[in-house]
Amino acid sequence: MKKYTLITIFLINTYLSFGQILPGTLDVSGFPNISQTINDLVSEAGLDDTSVGFESNFDTNLITFTLDPTILMGITAASTEQNCDANVFRYSVYMYTSYVPDGFIIEAKTTFDSGFGLPAVSTYDTLPIQPLGPRGLTPENGGNYITIPRDGASAIKVFEFVGCREDIPIQFRIKPSVKVVGGNPVNFDVYYTVVGSLN
């Protein structure tokens, strides 16, 4: 009886260990500084400038999300790469903006399997059945632009990926109403929120 109790505790403990998502860190590099050119302007009198829009470079922001290293008593027990190799989770990325004036539409997108998995080749890749599917990136809306809300209470999902991932490029498209005054830069903040899950 004692033997079975120990086995049960072991199994429960193992399940709980595997069922816990590990802490990770999001890094966003790049500073979107986008300028409208004369070719980007509306050319038909009477129409709003939102009818045209203009794009940033495809990699205006680069997104990296990796698991934190495991440090025990000041010693690194497992590096970021080792943790990413041994622990694969699904991550959803949500976006919103703040301090954006009325009539200023901001859209964002990335492409299928953009960025780089970390590690490049993982133990997970060799599993005959990969519980979360292959390590890769799936954009929402089929990879087309998604309008980013100005309210964090309804941050919108832009893409998801499986496993740690580096340098995911984000491209923006701006559709500014003519009601937004020109001459002064429009400054705002872009928020990225990564939500991890076990399935």
**Which residues 74-133 are close enough to bind other proteins by CB under 8 A?**
89, 91-92, 94, 96-98, 104
State which residue, 100 or 117, has the beta carbon closest to other proteins.
100
Q: How far is the CB of 4 from other proteins (least distance, A)?
A: 32
Judged by CB under 8 A, the residue of 5, 37, 126, 199 near other proteins is 37
Q: How far is the CB of 24 from other proteins (least distance, A)?
A: 6
Task: Give me the residue label for tokens 């100005």.
Answer: 150
Q: Within positions 135 to 174, which residues make up the interface with other proteins, using CB under 8 A?
A: 140-141, 146, 149, 152-157, 172, 174
Judged by CB under 8 A, the residue of 11, 12, 41, 127 near other proteins is 41
- CA 34, CA 56: separation in Å to the nearest integer? 6
Judged by CB under 8 A, the residue of 14, 30, 119, 163 near other proteins is 30
Q: How far is the CB of 89 from other proteins (least distance, A)?
A: 6
- CA 83, CA 78: separation in Å to the nearest integer? 6
Task: Give me the residue label for tokens 């990564």.
Answer: 194
Q: How far is the CB of 102 from other proteins (least distance, A)?
A: 11
Residues 6+ apart with CB under 8 A from 128: none
Q: Does 5 bind other proteins (CB under 8 A)?
A: no
Contact between 177 and 50 (Cβ < 8 Å)? yes
Residues 6+ apart with CB under 8 A from 34: 54, 56, 60, 172, 174
- CA 41, CA 44: separation in Å to the nearest integer? 9
DSSP 136: -
Judged by CB under 8 A, the residue of 49, 75, 120, 135 near other proteins is 49
The distance in angstroms from the start CA to the end CA of the chain is: 34
Q: How far is the CB of 139 from other proteins (least distance, A)?
A: 12
Judged by CB under 8 A, the residue of 17, 44, 133, 144 near other proteins is 44
